[in-house]
Amino acid sequence: MLLAGGGIGAVALLSACEGSGPAPGAAGKGSGTPKSGGTLRVGALGRANAITRDPHGSQANESDYLIISLIYDTLTVPGATANTVDRLAKSWKADKDLRTWRFTLAEAATFHDGTPVTAEDVVWSLRRLRGTPSGASRLPGIKAENIRAEGKHTVVLVSDYANAELPQLTRLTTFVLKKGTKDKELAGAPGTGPFKLDWFRGGNARLVRNDDWYGGRVHLDAIEVKIFESPQAMASALLAGQIDLASNAGAVAARTAESRKDITVVRRPDDMAMPIVMRTADGPFADPKVREALRLAVDRKAMVKQVLSGYGRVANDVMGTGDPAYAKDLPQRTRDLAKARKLLKQADFDLGKTYVLHTTEDVPGLAETATLFASQVREAGVKVEVVKQESAAFWDKTWLKGDLYTTYWGTNDSVVFFASKTMYSEAGTNEAGWDDKEFDAAYKKAVRTADARDRAKVLHELQEIQHERSGYLLWGVADGIDLAAPAVRDLPKLPGYGRVQLERTWLDR
């Protein structure tokens, strides 16, 4: 969940797309001319009991996702000027029906063992991804049998329905392995990425530069990834000089480091959404009047100030705030306790009961969100008890099933991504159990609309519906925050998957 990602491809989606990849942002002032060499020591969050080596598995650990993303390439990645730019796929083009898409691979791409990357390798990898438990939501509308090779360097994806936004689906977990890689070989399977695995021990790893990477020059000699279970421990290691970069350190760590002249705080806007989910299918929050009342009972500015320490901004109950098509003109919902009480009365909501809000401490801010929400809605007469669950229990028993719970998504730059993954009635990860025929119709119309301007209009309608009655209470969005030592230069500033693209980072030593 933390590592979910996606994005809306712009006008260029419907033509052969050539790109330069995401532009890096400097950490510190006056980065100058990049220098080659050095080892970047990176701290990343993770838990020992959640380690995975499978590129197509569920990467609950930030540390695992960072390692995997540097070793293996996806077909496309987020960009600085367009949400979807080339990576292993150098171009893509759709047929007129917007159902059949052809992705042309970079001909110079090779695996770390020197063998060329072929369309058969990509087809095998995508079919393997599609066969995972969450494969249907990772590649929605694409069945395994509708993924095929056309020659050595072209991969064909045929969607069940017209989808102008299909390339953005290939940004997240379409990591490419060699055809026929066995599960027992995953720990050392060669990738195509900018770094090669040197060693891996208990969640920690050393990666060395891939001099033959098709994507261009890689500056660092190596990256060493160290796993930390808490942002506090990771930030302390940075301040002590034990690491050079604290990745995704969070607002509390940033606030602590603000006064340090020897630490650079890198902020990535629209990085994380931490909405409260209200189940719409049944239960106490099925009435849209009740959901509206809870949205009106929240003091969003106070939430941003207290939960995010100001490292974020107020949101308006629409997921995908970093999207160029985000509907900024929708009326900003603000606190109105009188109206909230009136709506609760109209809905005949039982104020005598205490309602449970489940949360977990997987990422900083979730438990704080729940506690502050419970305090605020009590002023509207709603009694809420916060129950913290251990991570495994939360995702197994509460997620997708609970009446009221917190959730989080580690990227927030695509309205269509959330519509397809979490709100379309047939989505495999429909978090609120939302089934809205008008929303479904708007979603289907949006993805089958070829013209970008016409599609933007439909996306606006889709957001209006979501704003009015979905199961999400999105009070704010958090900045992604990296803390870096003075020598670290050109860290990525993109949210979501963009944050792990360290191939252009260098050390000024």
Classify residue 126: in a domain, yes or no: no
Domain containing 372 equals 271-478
Q: Which two tokens stand for residue 107?
A: 């001909």
Decide if pLDDT at 500 tops 50: yes
Classify residue 140: in a domain, yes or no: no
Give the residue-averaged pLDDT of 475-486: 94
pLDDT bin (cut points 50, 70, 90) of residue 498 is confident
Q: What is the pLDDT of residue 474?
A: 98
Classify residue 456: in a domain, yes or no: yes
In whole angstroms, how far apart are CA 503 and each of 4, 22, 95, 299, 491? 21, 11, 33, 41, 9
Report the alpha-carbon distance of residue 78 to residue 468 in Å, rounded: 29
Give the residue-averaged pLDDT of 485-492: 95
Classify residue 234: in a domain, yes or no: no
Residue 298 CB contacts under 8 Å (≥ 6 apart), including other chains? 335, 373, 376, 377, 473, 475
Decide if pLDDT at 3 tops 50: no
pLDDT bin (cut points 50, 70, 90) of residue 2 is very low
Classify residue 340: in a domain, yes or no: yes
Q: Which two tokens stand for residue 167?
A: 């390339």
pLDDT bin (cut points 50, 70, 90) of residue 31 is low
Classify residue 295: in a domain, yes or no: yes
pLDDT bin (cut points 50, 70, 90) of residue 251 is confident
Domain count, the chain: 1
Q: What is the pLDDT of residue 261?
A: 86
Report the alpha-carbon distance of residue 125 to residue 135 in Å, rounded: 12
Classify residue 385: in a domain, yes or no: yes
Q: Which CATH number characterizes residue 395's domain?
A: 3.10.105.10
Strand, coil or helix: 472: strand
Decide if pLDDT at 27 tops 90: no
Strand, coil or helix: 62: helix
- The amino acid present at 304, given as its one-letter code, is V
Q: What is the pLDDT of residue 224?
A: 98
Q: What is the pLDDT of residue 482?
A: 94
Decide if pLDDT at 311 tops 90: yes
pLDDT in tens, 61-116: 899 999 999 999 999 998 887 888 999 999 999 999 999 999 999 999 999 999 99
Q: Which pTM does this prediction carry? A: 0.86
Let me know: does 384 contact 373? Beta carbons within 8 Å: yes
pLDDT bin (cut points 50, 70, 90) of residue 19 is very low
- The residue that leads in pLDDT, 50 or 121, is 121
Classify residue 325: in a domain, yes or no: yes
Q: What is the pLDDT of residue 257?
A: 85
Residue 493 CB contacts under 8 Å (≥ 6 apart), including other chains? 24, 25, 266, 267, 268
DSSP 403-430: SEEE--BS----HHHHIIIIISTT-TT-
Q: What is the pLDDT of residue 236?
A: 92
pLDDT in tens, 207-237: 999 999 999 999 999 999 999 998 889 999 9
